[in-house]
Amino acid sequence: MWINPYLFVADEVADSIAAMKPVVALESTIIAHGMPYPQNVETALKVEQVIRFNGAVPATIAIMDGKLKVGITMDEIESLGHRGLSVIKASRRDLSVLLSRGCTGATTVSATMIGAASAGIHVFVTGGIGGIHRGAETTMDISADLEELAHTKMVVVCAGVKSILDIGLTIEFLETKGVPIIGYQTDDMPAFYTRSSGFKVDYRLDSAEDIAHAFITHQLLGLAGSLLITNPIPEAFSLPPDHINHVIDEAIIECNKRGVKGKNVTPFLLSKVKELTRGESLEANIGLVMGNAVLGAKIAVSICDQA
């Protein structure tokens, strides 16, 4: 279904939204930039299956040939995964130009949220959100994800802030912007590869139903911005904090030596961390995304049940 010349919503997704059935949005940067081929495609398809198994409809979002598509096909997922880093990484600032020029792009958290909100989707599942990079006091490297969280109304399920970032500063930024950080069955802020960062969340909620109720209240109050739900990585995939932090420090040193900047920093660091952990970080990434998909689907179902 065409919403406008640039926004296309897949029939299944559009029909589910119209019928007030649960839908979960998914990003595509994790496919093109977050994991190597073929694990990226395998993970993307499995995440969609997990969401369906838990009662919701998946809507993977990407820019395909100048169209912001909410719900892409298996072939399109395969294409993004196979092309990998050659696909443009699309954030909020990139949308207008990429769409007007007929480009293809993998949507980040911020761009995915824009597409999801435009289609009427309330729940978005990702791996980890972007944030304030280490050393941002001199580089001013701050992810557009944070501003999007501040003004786009949505439930965003993640495994916390990516460990490669400055978690403390990111939390402070979100507090300033009025974005509540809600721990799912935890008082501790997860750190992507590990279950705790040493920081505390704002609130703890122990069920998908409680999260759904909080979001409905958020809507009724007319408040802007998202509820950020932090879901700790499953124990089986969690990496030792000292080990992963040492690896991240090494990766950042290498990143600085090579002069990697801007939107290339995160893909470089994730790839370097994977190399230094001999693939352990990739397994952790896959495990946490699956856990987030289960929770996101349950929240979406509960929102529909309570609406």
Catalytic residues: 27, 162
Amino acid making up residue 126:
T
For the record, the structure tokens of 90 come out as: 């699309």
Q: DSSP string spanning 31-68?
A: IIIIS-TTHHHHHHHHHHHHHHHTT-EEEEEEEETTEE
For the record, the structure tokens of 133 come out as: 């990079």
Query: Cβ contacts of residue 157 below 8 Å, gap of 6+?
Result: 123, 124, 125, 126, 184, 229, 231, 292, 295, 296, 299
Closest CA to 244 of 283, 292, 200: 283
Closest CA to 284 of 199, 190, 214: 190
Q: What is the end-to-end Cα distance of the chain in Å, rounded?
A: 24
> What does the radius of gyration of the chain's CA atoms come to, in whole angstroms?
18
